[in-house]
Amino acid sequence: MPAAKRMVAMIENSSFIRKMFEEGTKLKAQYGQDNVYDFSIGNPDVPPPPEFKKTLLDVIENGPGHGYMPNPGWPAARTAVAEYLAKEQGVAMSMDYVMMTPGASAGLNVVLKAILNPGEEVITVAPYFVEYGNYVEVAGGVLKTVPAGPDFGLDPQAVGAAVTAKTRAVLINSPHNPTGAVYTKEQLDGLAGVLEEAKEKFGQRIYLISDEPYRKIVYDGIVVPSVFQAYDHSFVVNSHSKDLSLAGERIGFAALNPKADDAAEIAASMVIALRIYYVNAPSLMQLTVARLQGAVVDVSLYQKRRDMICQGLAEAGYEFTTPGGAFYLFPKSPLADDVAFVNILKEERILVVPGSGFGGPGYFRISYAVPDKTIENSLPGFKRAMEKVG
Ligand code: PLP
């Protein structure tokens, strides 16, 4: 066996999404791109804000060139993010606690590598972004899951019940992939209380990692509460893949709450992890997003699509919780076997991902980061699929 056993296992575990991708490619070749309704991946398709291009061109013309820099990033970028975070999170921040990373995925890997000892546990809420399992494993930890509360909210008591002496961190994601749930301030405060109780009980500090790439993609006036205010011993990981539609450019950051226990040592450990795995985040992008903190794509485009898909699926008899953010919908599968139902949707040339792929069997995920006409043209197929099983 030429590849490492751990990697072979990861290849097998990612087969759902890989299979969907391969079948999608086949269907598109057979029926034509416009006749396949591909809701399988969360690839933002709305354009970046207009100021992005101008800023990038200016950075290319007048920036500091293309050399190495300090591993955590250009001071100007770290400072801009720290200043923005201070406002967004409502706490004092300095650039010493901000690391520019190639997206949220890198930010999460840096944080996990910085804090996990071999065999330590990270708790997350199922369903969950499936890469978390891989990130925790390569950092030497073990991912444990707890069920979500009503409407896919955070259930602090469920987290509390899963804590053991080996728990090192809790990893949350809000707005949430794959459900679109946005956690409330009460839920975050409840979790903070549970983590303080666990500190008393086990004598070890449990850190909270908040994965927030969809923070600015929220609807109906919802405000995402501050994790830094709720709990001192926390990290915020964010990226501009979604809020500026720059997924391919690989730019984001990991920030540590300056009030966290052992903050200076952890920040130093993050810098080493960043250096080993990534060296630094892309230079041009750092300096560009530094000048675009607070900017966001036109969220009304996603909101319109959310409303279109929710209305169409409700009329066809699907059950779901209306998402408050991100660009995903997680309806209940009308068959207990979500993989079987996803195959029925495929007969209608509709591609979605089974909930089982996210630790959420009995559901399926729709990514509505797709053109309006994809949603419009798919609705009769969703209706027929429901009628077939109903
Ligand atoms: N976390 C969640 C919940 C995501 O959905 C994604 C991407 O889809 C990521 C992290 C990784 O994002 P990035 O492109 O910033 O690495």
Q: Is the pLDDT of residue 1 over 70?
A: no
Using the mean position of ligand 1's atoms as its centre, give its distance from the Cα of residue 228 in Å. 20
Percent of the chain with pLDDT over 70: 99
Residue to mutate (ligand 1; options 182, 242, 274, 289; most atoms within 8 A of CB): 242
pLDDT tens for each residue of 128-176:
999 999 999 999 999 999 999 999 999 999 999 999 999 999 999 999 9
**Residue 37 in contact with residue 349, Cβ under 8 Å?**
yes
Tell me the angle at which helices 131-138 and 103-115 cross, rounded to the nearest 10 degrees. 40
Q: Of the candidates 102, 104, 161, 111, which has an alpha carbon nearest to the alpha carbon of residue 136?
A: 111
Q: What is the token pair recorded at 369?
A: 């980061």
Select the more confidently predicted residue: 223 or 14: 223
Q: Is the pLDDT of residue 390 over 90?
A: no
**Which of ligand 1's atoms lies nearest the C-alpha of 129?**
3
Position 15 scores a pLDDT of 63
Residue to mutate (ligand 1; options 41, 100, 105, 214; most atoms within 8 A of CB): 105
Q: Kindly state the average pLDDT of the residues 252-272.
A: 98
**Nearest-CA residue for atom 12 of ligand 1:** 104
> 350-351 and 353-354: which strand pairing?
unpaired
pLDDT tier for residue 21 given thresholds of 50, 70 and 90: confident
Q: How far apart are CA 84 and CA 90, in angstroms?
A: 10
Q: Is the pTM of this model over 0.85?
A: yes
CA 32 to chain centre: 31
Alpha helices of 32-140 — where are they, by DSSP H?
51-62, 75-89, 103-115, 131-138
> What residues are paired with 254 via a beta bridge?
99, 237
Angular region, 371: left φ>0, alpha ψ -120 to 50, beta rest: beta
Q: Kindly state the average pLDDT of the residues 106-132.
A: 97
pLDDT tens for each residue of 23-66:
888 899 999 988 999 999 888 999 999 999 999 999 999 999 89
pLDDT tens for each residue of 303-354:
999 999 999 999 999 999 999 999 999 999 999 999 999 999 999 999 999 9
Q: How far apart are CA 116 and CA 120, in angstroms?
A: 6
Q: Return the exposure string of 60-85: e unless at least 16 CB atoms fall within 10 Å of the residue's CB, then b.
A: eeebeeeeebebbbbeebbbbbbbbb
Binding-site residues, ligand 1, Cβ < 6 A: 42, 103-105, 129, 173, 177, 211, 213, 239, 241, 247, 252
